[in-house]
A and B are shown apart, each in its own frame.
Chain A
């Protein structure tokens, strides 16, 4: 069984297939597990679409059983997403793409985030827009 971990969640898409270094996900499971989706304009997540040129598309996308499939491991490498793999448990981690990692900090535009407090209430940095925010990162260790 393949497990896919992102910074948001972990999931085990039942139809995932591993072939060598490739990890094929059916489009519906691709969207549910990674947020990416194959569309006519390319492989998209939110507002971002990555068009795949001919040869890349041939290598990374496939039509099987009446559905579109993407090799997410190959795609991550192509777009420069960080990733890690544990072979023993067949667990894969896929991180943010370069545009998500760098877009904000190069501009010093404070990246938004959503986290919970002890009571489980959700807070976003952007809730505080219009006020100064002192953001202090700490740990118990």
Chain B
């Protein structure tokens, strides 16, 4: 297991979560969004299953290991997904939870020129903001969002580095205008547990 935290502010904002989780696996910081670029993710969470030979056998699942009920604050373990992971560990390539190559490609969404170009604007924006050029950074973030309004990685980070006012649209309004929060649906087959 490898976890990758995507915050442009890096350890400054991620340390408390990582230390609280006391991970025994590599828990990595990705302040320049290298993994979202390579794996074409547009929101968090995103989970990929990679087999022993380095092939993606299931991709872009929008799940955390725990779920928190927003109203009650109660946290529950995502048992159904964990069972799917255990099944993969037990059965490997014979696990019924693996997706076909075509389906995995669909979920990972291999080619997206607009998203790649939006990433260029986003990266430049992060660099400019870090070097004290906030106004210029906002222009780059706006260019990224114009290309990919549904990319929530960009929108959240841009808003976090400044404020929604600079973009003339709140997060709530953005959700209403550009559609529901981007997330691949979690599609798990019904499998008899073994």
Using CB atoms and an 8 Å cutoff, list the residues of chain A in contact with chain B.
3, 5, 7, 10, 82-86, 88-89, 91-96, 101-102, 104-106, 108-111, 113, 115-118, 123, 125-126, 128-141
The reply to whether B45 and A137 contact each other, CB–CB distance below 8 Å, is: yes
Given A5-B124, A82-B117, A129-B54; A134-B108 close (CB under 8 Å) = no
Which of chain B's residues have a CB closer than 8 A to the CB of A108? 55-57, 59, 101, 104-105, 108
Q: Please tell me if B15 contacts chain A, counting CB pairs below 8 Å.
A: yes
The reply to whether B56 and A110 contact each other, CB–CB distance below 8 Å, is: yes
Q: Say which residue of A86, A133, A140 sits within 8 Å of B2 (CB atoms).
A: A133
The reply to whether A117 and B41 contact each other, CB–CB distance below 8 Å, is: no
Which of chain B's residues have a CB closer than 8 A to the CB of A123? 2, 26, 28
A131 to B104, CA, bound (A): 20
A23 to B160, CA, bound (A): 32
The reply to whether A133 and B127 contact each other, CB–CB distance below 8 Å, is: no
Q: Please tell me if B88 contacts chain A, counting CB pairs below 8 Å.
A: yes
Which of chain B's residues have a CB closer than 8 A to the CB of A126? 54
A-contacting residues, B24-60, CB 8 Å? 26-30, 32, 34-41, 44-57, 59
The size bracket of the interface on B is: 35 or more
Residue among A83, A118, A139 having the largest count of chain B Cβ atoms under 10 Å: A139
Given A84-B143, A110-B56, A136-B4; A118-B50 close (CB under 8 Å) = no
Q: Say which residue of B3, B59, B123 sits within 8 Å of A138 (CB atoms).
A: B3
Which of chain B's residues have a CB closer than 8 A to the CB of A105? 38-40, 105, 108, 110-111
B8 to chain A, nearest CB (A): 10
A-B pair number, CB within 8 angstroms: 191
Which of chain A's residues have a CB closer than 8 A to the CB of B11? 118
The reply to whether B44 and A139 contact each other, CB–CB distance below 8 Å, is: yes
The reply to whether A118 and B18 contact each other, CB–CB distance below 8 Å, is: yes
The reply to whether A137 and B54 contact each other, CB–CB distance below 8 Å, is: no
B169 to chain A, nearest CB (A): 17
Q: Considering only CB atoms, which chain A residue lies closest to B116 in the complex?
A: A82
A106 to B50, CA, bound (A): 15
The reply to whether B39 and A137 contact each other, CB–CB distance below 8 Å, is: yes
- List 7 interface pairs A-B (beta carbons < 8 Å), by A numbering: A91-B127, A93-B123, A129-B53, A136-B2, A136-B4, A139-B7, A139-B44
The reply to whether A84 and B120 contact each other, CB–CB distance below 8 Å, is: yes
A83 to B118, CA, bound (A): 9
Residue among A3, A83, A133 having the largest count of chain B Cβ atoms under 10 Å: A133
A65 to chain B, nearest CB (A): 29
Q: Please tell me if B119 contacts chain A, counting CB pairs below 8 Å.
A: yes
Which of chain B's residues have a CB closer than 8 A to the CB of A133? 1-2, 49-50
A118 to B33, CA, bound (A): 16
The reply to whether A137 and B4 contact each other, CB–CB distance below 8 Å, is: yes
> A5-B124, A139-B156 given. 14 additional CB < 8 A pairs?
A10-B127, A86-B136, A88-B136, A89-B128, A95-B120, A105-B105, A108-B59, A125-B2, A132-B88, A133-B50, A135-B4, A136-B1, A138-B4, A141-B160
A129 to B128, CA, bound (A): 36
A136 to B48, CA, bound (A): 6
